[in-house]
Amino acid sequence: MRRSLLAVLIAAMVFVIYYFGLFNSIGTNEGTVISIFSTLTVISISLIIFSENRNPSTTMSWILLLALLPVVGLPLYFLFGQNVFKRRKYDKKALRDQQAYDRIEKDAMHVKRDLTCFTDEQQRLMRLARRLARSPIYFAAETQILNNGDETFSTLLAELRKAEHHIHMEYYIFRSDDIGTSIQEILIEKAKAGVKVRFMYDAVGSIQLSKTFLKEMRDAGVEVVAYGGARILFFSSRVNYRNHRKIVVIDGNIGLIGGLNVGDEYLSRNKAYGFWRDTHMVVKGEAVRTLQLIFLQDWLHMTGESVLDKEYLSPKIEPITDGGVQIIASGPDNERRVLKNLFFSMITSARKSVWIATPYFIPDEDILTALRMAALSGLDVRILFPAKPDKWLPFLASHSYFQTLLEVGVKVYEYEKGFLHSKLLIIDGEVATIGTANMDMRSFHLNFEVNALLIRTHSVQQMVADYERDLQSASLIVREEFMKKRLFKRLMESLARLLSPLL
């Protein structure tokens, strides 16, 4: 069906171009020809979008944009709206990922674990995450929360210096500034000492990374790969599917994930942002296997090099016990919308509280309804959000969702100490997820993300304490005051919300 519609579109374009001279000969001006061409194109693309059975809000947003602003909508659709590339490119990756997860699941110690110490709802979440993401449940694991850039980068640098066998590193944003150079120097030193170093960066997120910086690493023996390709074109649909993951695995027994990229601004050195509030996490023990697998599958996807060797996936790991831990990957290669559905299930399973921290709040109707129902049921529902933006359009769109939540008793706080970039969801003070995914549609549908699901671990208790401390640096939005905003600002927020499925 889709191919037929594409053929219709191409035929229409050829028809207009072929008869362009005929239109001129009978007195039809160029404006009329362009108008006919645009109309045929918009109609054809609209039919294609309808045929894909997308989310209704996304469908209507594209249709409205194409109909009202075709000059803007057409190039945006060809850049961001097409799903052909996604399906073609990621079907094989999904199959390889499934086979690899089957391999590590056989070795997971969770198989023999008695789950009766967890509630029925907690067990259900574990099973759901396992089926959605093929993610084993680990109990021989330990996690440690790292607050902000100082703790995160001091820990990262210290662990990198200890590396003896390999370093695997994957970042969305990696800058060649002071902290980036400090990490680069260690990677170069380790590569020269015989440690296997693989470094992957996103071609769009790290577009400012200098060629000289990368060449210095390659010359020292570091294997460097750009996710999406080093020469990614911004008029290509590839630009829309970004690798938003932040993964470091060292010697197969320690890993780091969370919200922090690599750059001086994450150390609060950028005056525009001021203090940068963020959360990262150290993972030790068995759960590192899944983190390792995610990196190796991304590496295979970009390089064609399979390194799923026993030395990387079966290292000697001390049996550590600290609740339940699952490392969960999500991306456009998995049609199950893993993290979106996990977030939804966590919210609907809550019995006491739902606490969220996110720099961008652009939920779909499922998440929005789940939060409203939780609040109407008498649960303590809180959202911690930055008081100042780093990107204006998502910031405005996020504010457009607050009114409907404030009306049912959701407490929305604005973090005022600096810029909040933490990405947390805490349920009942016992279950939490932390990682790279924002509470927005881009993380749900377009980005490659990685989160950890933590159930009754010490880290969850630390996250609860940190959240309560952050609230002391935040102000509660009062519904009556929120409704007094100027008409122009309301209109801007509404427009941003209309475009939010496209963000």
Angle (CA) 461 467 471, round 5°: 150
Say whether 333 is catalytic: no
d(CA 227, CA 417): 34
How would you write 389-443 as a 3-class SS string? CCCHHHHHHHHHHHHHHHCCCCEEEEECCEEECCCEEEECCCEEEEECCCEEHHH
d(CA 490, CA 288): 46
The DSSP symbol for 77 reads: I
Which residues on neighbouring strands pair with residue 435, listed in sequence order?
451
The amino acid sitting at 291 is L
What is the per-residue burial (b if ≥16 Cβ within 10 Å, else e) of 284-307?
bbbbbbbbbbbbbbbbbbbeeeeb
| Residue count of the chain | 503
Catalytic residue among 97, 202, 333, 428: 428
Return all residues near 48 (Cβ < 8 A) that are at least 6 apart: 2, 5, 6, 9
Closest CA to 169 of 140, 195, 143, 150: 195
Q: Are strands 380-386 and 247-250 parallel, antiparallel or unpaired?
A: unpaired
- Both tokens of 199, joined, read 């470094």
Catalytic residue among 251, 333, 364, 466: 251
Phi, psi of 286 (to 5 degrees): -60, -35
**Of 219, 333, 221, 208, residue with least CA distance to 264:** 208
| Rounded distance between C-alpha atoms, residue 150 and residue 173, angstroms | 17
Residue 427, CA distances (Å) to 142, 381, 398, 433, 464 in order = 20, 10, 22, 9, 10
Residue 399 CB partners (closer than 8 Å, separation 6+): 493
Q: How are beta strands 411-415 and 449-455 bridged, if at all? A: unpaired
In DSSP notation, 156-178 reads: HHHHHHT-SSEEEEEES-B-SSH
C-alpha–C-alpha distance, residues 403 and 409, integer Å? 10
Active-site hit among 110, 190, 423, 445: 423
Which of 244, 280, 340, 399 is flagged as catalytic?
Answer: 244
246 is catalytic: yes
Structure tokens at 500: 């939010």
Bridge partners (DSSP) listed for residue 146: 280
Of 333, 421, 440, 466, which one is the catalytic site residue? Answer: 421
466 is catalytic: no
* Active-site residue, 428 included: yes
Known catalytic residue at 97? no
Of 86, 110, 166, 246, which one is the catalytic site residue?
246
> 């998440």: which residue's tokens?
367
Neighbours of 15 (CB within 10 A): 13
Examine the residue annotation and report whether 298 is marked as an active-site residue of this protein: no
By annotation, the residues acting in catalysis are 244, 246, 251, 421, 423, 428
